[in-house]
Structure 1
C-alpha cells in the first residue's frame, strides 16, 4: 500500500490522511468492541499523532473501562461513526477505528494480535500463528 492514504466516516464529514503504516493493528474481542463494531471484534490501528491529519468536526465520548481507566473516543457527530480512541496518558498515540479505502485486503491493516480472546464467540477461530491474549 502506498502512503499517504485516506479514510472517512460513513457520511464523509470526518476524514483523515495517514502518512505511514500503523505501528500495530489489533483485533479486540471484548464485549464493548463487539457492541461498537456489531461483529465478533473491532479492529484498531495504532498510529502516532504526528503521522495523521484529521479534517472535520468530531464529538467526544468516554466510558469507564474494566481497568478503571477512562476510554476516550472521537466520533462523527452526524453519522455516529467512531473515528479513534485515545488515552490522555499517551497523547502521542491514536487508536484508529476507521478502515482506510482499499485496506480490506492490505497486510498493513491485518491484525497482528487479538486481545480479550476470552470474550470472543466460540465459533470464531483466531488465525493460526497470530498472537492472542485472554485479556489486554
Structure 2
C-alpha cells in the first residue's frame, strides 16, 4: 500500500473546515484529478453516505470510484474509503483547532486490488506522491480562500 500524509494550516474554524471537506460533492474544487462528484446514497454527510466520482485511471481513461464515509466525528475527524475494480483508497482527515483557525491532517493510502496489478509497488509509490501533491496544493488553496 502506498501512503502519504500532509498538514495544512487554515484560518477557517474547525467546524467550517470540516463542513467544506466532508462535502464530497465539492471534491473537484480542490482535486483537479476528480470530476463529476455526486452523492449516490444517503442524505447529508453521515456514516454510510456514498459518493461517486470520476478519476483518471492508470490507463489514462476516466474511471468511476465510489467513496463511502466510514466514520464521522464532527468537527474533528472523518474517514472515507474509495473503491473500484482496480484499487482501494483509504483517507483519514483530522482537524485540530489552533489559535488562528485549524490544522488539517490528510492521511491517504492506496492499495491495488488486482492479482496482476498495472503498476509495481515502486511505481505506485512514485505515482501516489504526485497524486498527493495535487491534492495538497488544491486543499491549501481551498482551505485558505
Determine which structure has the larger strand proportion and give its number. Answer: 2
Determine which structure has the larger helix proportion and give its number. Answer: 2
Is this a same-fold pair by TM over 0.5?
no
TM-score by length of 2: 0.30
Identify the structure with bigger relative contact order (alpha carbons < 8 Å, sequence gap 6+): 2
TM-score by length of 1: 0.31
